[in-house]
Amino acid sequence: MTWVLANLEQILELSLTHLRLSLLPIVLGFVIAIPLGWVAHRYRLTRGLILTLVGLLYTIPSLALFVVLPPLLGTPFLSEANVLIALTIYAVAIMARSTADALASVDPDIQQAATAMGYSSWRRFWVVDLPLAGPVLLAGLRVVAVSTVSLLTVGVIVGVDSLGYLFTNGYQRGILASVLTGVVVTVLIALLLDRVLALLGAWLMPWTRAGRASRRSRVAQPSQLVDRAPATVGTGVQGSGA
Amino acid sequence: MIEFRSISKRFDDGTLAVDDFSLVIPSRRTTVFVGSSGCGKTTLLRMINRMVDASSGALEIDGENVSAIEPVQLRRRIGYVMQNSGLLPHRTVIDNIATVPRLNGVPKRAAHERALELMDTVGLDRAMAKRYPSQLSGGQQQRVGVARGLAVDPNILLMDEPFGAVDPIVRAELQQELLRLQRELGKTVVFVTHDIDEAFLLGDQVVILEKGARIAQRGTPEEILANPASDFVASFVGADRGRRALSIREVDGARVLVDADGNLAGRLVDRPAEASAS
**Judgement on whether residues A101 and A15 belong to the same structural domain of the protein:** yes
Dist. CA B276–CA B274, nearest whole Å: 5
Domains, in order of start, for chain B: 2-240 (3.40.50.300), 241-278 (no CATH)
Query: Has residue B165 got a pLDDT over 90?
Result: no
Same-domain status, A233 and A160: no
**Residue of B82, B88, B104 best to disrupt the A interface, most CBs of A under 10 A:** B88
CB contact under 8 Å between B135 and A120, yes or no, is no
Do A179 and A214 share a domain, yes or no?
no
pLDDT range class, residue B222, cuts 50, 70, 90: very high
Q: Across the interface, do A110 and B137 touch by the CB < 8 Å criterion? A: no
> For residue A114, which residues of chain B lie inside 8 Å, CB to CB?
86, 88
Q: What is the pLDDT of residue A39?
A: 92
Nearest to residue B173, comparing CAs of A233, A242, A230? A242
Chain A nearest-CA residue for B180: A242
Give the residue from A105, A115, A117 with the most B CB atoms within 10 Å of its CB, the best one to mutate.
Answer: A117
Distance from the Cα of A224 to chain B's closest Cα (Å) equals 14
Judgement on whether residues A129 and A141 belong to the same structural domain of the protein: yes
pLDDT per residue over B96-134, tens digit each? 999 999 999 999 999 999 999 999 999 999 999 999 999
> What is the reported pTM?
0.81
SS percent in chain B: helix, strand, coil, step 5:
35, 25, 35
Closest CA to B30 of B198, B186, B228: B186
pLDDT tens-digit profile of B229-264?
Answer: 999 998 888 877 777 888 888 888 888 888 888 888
Which residues, including other chains, have CB under 8 Å from residue B240's CB and lie 6 or more apart?
A: B234, B260
pLDDT for B183-213, tens place per residue? 999 999 999 999 999 999 999 999 999 999 9
Chain A residues with CB under 8 Å of B90 CB are 131-132, 134, 205, 207
Chain A hits for B87, CB-CB cut-off 8 Å, are: 110, 113
- Asked if A207's CB is within 8 angstroms of B91's CB, the reply is yes
Residues of chain A with pLDDT under 70: 211-242
Digit-coded pLDDT (tens) for A72-100: 888 887 788 888 999 999 999 999 999 99
- ipTM reported for the complex, 2 dp: 0.85
pLDDT value for A24? 94
Q: Are residues A224 and A112 in the same domain?
A: no
Q: What is the pLDDT of residue B57?
A: 94
Residues of B in contact with A128 (CB under 8 A): 88
The answer to whether residues A166 and A231 belong to one domain is: no
pLDDT at B90 over 90: yes
The C-alpha atoms of residue B233 and residue B245 are separated, in whole angstroms, by 14
Same-domain status, A133 and A102: yes
Residues A167 and A237 placed together within one structural domain of the fold: no
pLDDT digits over B3-43, tens only?
999 999 999 998 999 999 999 999 999 999 999 888 999 99
For residues A194 and A211, membership in a common domain is answered with no
8 A C-beta contact, residue B154 and residue B187:
yes
The answer to whether the Cβ–Cβ distance between B76 and A118 falls below 8 Å is: yes
Indicate if the pLDDT at residue B80 is higher than 90: yes
Same domain, A190 and A221: no
**Separation between Cα atoms, residue A175 and residue A170, nearest integer Å:** 4
Residue among A128, A210, A239 minimizing CB distance to B173:
A239
Taking CB atoms and an 8 Å cut-off, how many pairs form between chains A and B? 97
* Residues on chain A touching B170 (C-beta within 8 angstroms): 239
CATH number for position A121: 1.10.3720.10
Q: Does B180 touch chain A (CB under 8 A)?
A: no
Which residues of chain A are within 8 Å of residue B103 when distances are taken between CB atoms?
Answer: 117-119, 123
Sign of CA dihedral A8, A9, A10, A12: positive
pLDDT band, residue B269 (cuts 50/70/90): confident
Range of the domain at A240: 207-242
How many separate domains does chain A show?
Answer: 2
A61 and A35 share one domain: yes
Are A30 and A110 part of one and the same domain? yes
